[in-house]
Protein backbone atom coordinates (compact mmCIF):
# COMPACT_ATOMS: atom_id res chain seq x y z
CA UNK A 1 0.00 0.00 0.00
CA UNK A 2 1.40 3.39 -0.98
CA UNK A 3 1.73 6.37 1.33
CA UNK A 4 -1.02 8.12 -0.67
CA UNK A 5 -3.45 5.29 0.01
CA UNK A 6 -2.50 5.23 3.68
CA UNK A 7 -3.08 8.98 4.00
CA UNK A 8 -6.37 8.70 2.14
CA UNK A 9 -7.59 5.84 4.33
CA UNK A 10 -6.44 7.65 7.49
CA UNK A 11 -8.22 10.86 6.48
CA UNK A 12 -11.39 8.93 5.64
CA UNK A 13 -11.23 7.05 8.93
CA UNK A 14 -10.71 10.30 10.88
CA UNK A 15 -13.74 11.86 9.19
CA UNK A 16 -15.72 8.70 9.85
CA UNK A 17 -14.83 8.81 13.54
CA UNK A 18 -15.94 12.46 13.76
CA UNK A 19 -19.29 11.69 12.14
CA UNK A 20 -19.79 8.65 14.39
CA UNK A 21 -19.06 10.74 17.48
CA UNK A 22 -21.39 13.52 16.27
CA UNK A 23 -24.15 10.95 15.73
CA UNK A 24 -23.55 9.37 19.13
CA UNK A 25 -23.79 12.68 20.99
CA UNK A 26 -27.12 13.44 19.30
CA UNK A 27 -28.64 9.97 19.60
CA UNK A 28 -27.93 9.62 23.31
CA UNK A 29 -30.33 12.46 24.18
CA UNK A 30 -33.88 13.27 23.14
CA UNK A 31 -34.17 14.43 19.54
CA UNK A 32 -36.13 17.42 20.88
CA UNK A 33 -32.95 18.91 22.38
CA UNK A 34 -31.20 18.69 19.03
CA UNK A 35 -34.30 20.11 17.33
CA UNK A 36 -34.05 23.15 19.62
CA UNK A 37 -30.41 23.63 18.58
CA UNK A 38 -31.41 23.44 14.90
CA UNK A 39 -34.32 25.81 15.46
CA UNK A 40 -32.05 28.37 17.13
CA UNK A 41 -30.38 29.01 13.76
CA UNK A 42 -33.75 30.43 12.59
CA UNK A 43 -33.46 29.00 9.07
CA UNK A 44 -36.13 26.30 9.01
CA UNK A 45 -39.76 26.07 10.06
CA UNK A 46 -40.34 24.14 13.27
CA UNK A 47 -41.64 21.03 11.50
CA UNK A 48 -38.47 20.88 9.36
CA UNK A 49 -36.22 21.33 12.39
CA UNK A 50 -38.02 18.44 14.11
CA UNK A 51 -37.70 16.23 11.05
CA UNK A 52 -34.03 17.08 10.58
CA UNK A 53 -33.35 16.36 14.26
CA UNK A 54 -34.79 12.87 13.80
CA UNK A 55 -32.99 12.05 10.54
CA UNK A 56 -29.60 13.82 10.64
CA UNK A 57 -28.01 11.80 13.50
CA UNK A 58 -28.85 8.52 11.74
CA UNK A 59 -27.50 9.88 8.46
CA UNK A 60 -24.31 10.94 10.24
CA UNK A 61 -24.04 7.45 11.73
CA UNK A 62 -24.33 5.75 8.33
CA UNK A 63 -21.96 8.25 6.72
CA UNK A 64 -19.44 7.75 9.53
CA UNK A 65 -19.55 3.97 9.14
CA UNK A 66 -19.11 4.23 5.36
CA UNK A 67 -16.16 6.63 5.74
CA UNK A 68 -14.57 4.50 8.44
CA UNK A 69 -14.90 1.41 6.27
CA UNK A 70 -13.66 3.20 3.14
CA UNK A 71 -16.85 2.21 1.32
CA UNK A 72 -17.17 4.09 -1.98
CA UNK A 73 -14.79 6.65 -0.52
CA UNK A 74 -15.03 9.05 -3.46
CA UNK A 75 -18.77 9.40 -3.02
CA UNK A 76 -19.02 9.22 0.76
CA UNK A 77 -16.26 11.83 1.11
CA UNK A 78 -18.05 14.05 -1.42
CA UNK A 79 -21.30 13.75 0.58
CA UNK A 80 -19.39 14.52 3.78
CA UNK A 81 -17.83 17.57 2.12
CA UNK A 82 -21.22 18.83 0.98
CA UNK A 83 -22.73 18.31 4.41
CA UNK A 84 -19.81 19.99 6.18
CA UNK A 85 -19.94 22.90 3.72
CA UNK A 86 -23.61 23.45 4.54
CA UNK A 87 -22.92 23.21 8.28
CA UNK A 88 -19.99 25.62 8.00
CA UNK A 89 -21.96 28.11 5.92
CA UNK A 90 -24.86 28.12 8.37
CA UNK A 91 -22.50 28.51 11.30
CA UNK A 92 -20.59 31.41 9.71
CA UNK A 93 -23.87 33.16 8.91
CA UNK A 94 -25.10 32.80 12.49
CA UNK A 95 -21.75 33.88 13.93
CA UNK A 96 -21.65 37.00 11.73
CA UNK A 97 -25.21 37.84 12.76
CA UNK A 98 -24.09 37.69 16.39
CA UNK A 99 -26.44 34.89 17.36
CA UNK A 100 -25.53 33.56 20.79
CA UNK A 101 -26.57 29.95 20.19
CA UNK A 102 -25.40 26.41 20.69
CA UNK A 103 -23.50 24.97 17.76
CA UNK A 104 -25.34 21.62 17.82
CA UNK A 105 -22.32 19.97 16.22
CA UNK A 106 -21.67 17.45 18.96
CA UNK A 107 -24.91 17.51 20.86
CA UNK A 108 -26.03 20.20 23.22
CA UNK A 109 -23.98 22.62 25.27
CA UNK A 110 -21.29 23.86 22.89
CA UNK A 111 -21.59 27.56 22.14
CA UNK A 112 -21.04 28.77 18.58
CA UNK A 113 -17.66 30.52 18.65
CA UNK A 114 -14.55 31.23 16.64
CA UNK A 115 -13.19 27.94 18.03
CA UNK A 116 -16.11 25.91 16.63
CA UNK A 117 -15.77 27.72 13.30
CA UNK A 118 -12.04 26.93 13.15
CA UNK A 119 -12.70 23.27 13.99
CA UNK A 120 -15.41 22.96 11.35
CA UNK A 121 -13.24 24.72 8.77
CA UNK A 122 -10.47 22.21 9.48
CA UNK A 123 -12.93 19.31 9.13
CA UNK A 124 -14.20 20.75 5.86
CA UNK A 125 -10.63 21.09 4.62
CA UNK A 126 -9.87 17.48 5.55
CA UNK A 127 -13.05 16.29 3.89
CA UNK A 128 -12.28 18.18 0.69
CA UNK A 129 -8.74 16.79 0.69
CA UNK A 130 -10.05 13.23 1.08
CA UNK A 131 -12.63 13.80 -1.65
CA UNK A 132 -10.12 15.21 -4.13
CA UNK A 133 -7.57 12.56 -3.18
CA UNK A 134 -10.05 9.73 -3.63
CA UNK A 135 -11.09 10.97 -7.08
CA UNK A 136 -7.46 11.52 -8.15
CA UNK A 137 -6.47 8.08 -6.87
CA UNK A 138 -9.29 6.46 -8.84
CA UNK A 139 -8.32 8.43 -11.94
CA UNK A 140 -4.67 7.44 -11.60
CA UNK A 141 -5.63 3.78 -11.18
CA UNK A 142 -7.92 3.97 -14.22
CA UNK A 143 -5.21 5.60 -16.34
CA UNK A 144 -2.65 3.07 -15.17
CA UNK A 145 -4.95 0.17 -15.99
CA UNK A 146 -5.78 1.64 -19.40
CA UNK A 147 -2.12 2.19 -20.27
CA UNK A 148 -1.13 -1.31 -19.19
CA UNK A 149 -3.71 -3.03 -21.41
CA UNK A 150 -1.95 -2.12 -24.70
CA UNK A 151 1.41 -2.98 -23.18
CA UNK A 152 0.16 -6.43 -22.16
CA UNK A 153 -1.42 -7.01 -25.57
CA UNK A 154 1.81 -5.97 -27.28
CA UNK A 155 3.91 -8.27 -25.10
CA UNK A 156 1.54 -11.15 -25.78
CA UNK A 157 1.68 -10.49 -29.53
CA UNK A 158 5.47 -10.45 -29.43
CA UNK A 159 5.50 -13.76 -27.56
CA UNK A 160 3.16 -15.31 -30.09
CA UNK A 161 5.34 -14.02 -32.94
CA UNK A 162 8.38 -15.48 -31.24
CA UNK A 163 6.67 -18.88 -31.10
CA UNK A 164 5.69 -18.64 -34.77
CA UNK A 165 9.31 -18.21 -35.86
Residues 15 and 127: their CA atoms lie apart, in Å, by 7
What pLDDT does 160 receive? 66
What pLDDT does 150 receive? 59
pLDDT surpasses 90 at 151: no
Answering whether pTM is above 0.75, one says: yes
**What's the sign of the alpha-carbon dihedral 140, 141, 146, 151?**
positive
pLDDT surpasses 60 at 165: no
pLDDT surpasses 60 at 142: yes
Nearest CA to 53 out of 71, 33, 70 is that of: 33
Q: Show the CA angle centred on residue 105, arms to residues 132 and 15, nearest 5°.
A: 30
What pLDDT does 137 receive? 86
* Average pLDDT over all residues of the chain: 89
* Total number of domains constituting the chain: 1
The confidence band for 108, taking pLDDT boundaries of 50, 70 and 90, is confident
pLDDT surpasses 70 at 164: no
Contact 127, 81 (CB under 8 A): yes
Least confident interval from 11-15, 18-22, 153-157: 153-157
Q: 156 by DSSP, 3-state: which?
A: helix
Nearest CA to 81 out of 3, 18, 2, 165 is that of: 18
Residues 113 and 3: their CA atoms lie apart, in Å, by 35
Where is pLDDT greater, at 6 or 139? Answer: 6
The confidence band for 37, taking pLDDT boundaries of 50, 70 and 90, is very high
Tell me which residue range forms the domain holding 83: 3-164
Separation in Å, CA 25 to CA 48, 56, 58, 106, 121: 20, 12, 11, 6, 20
Per-residue pLDDT, averaged over 37-42, amounts to 94
Amino acid sequence: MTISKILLRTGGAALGAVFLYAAYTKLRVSFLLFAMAIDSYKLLPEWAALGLARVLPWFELLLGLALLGGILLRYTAAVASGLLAVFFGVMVRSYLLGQQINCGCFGIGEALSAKTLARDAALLGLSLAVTVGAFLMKRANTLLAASSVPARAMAETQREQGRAL
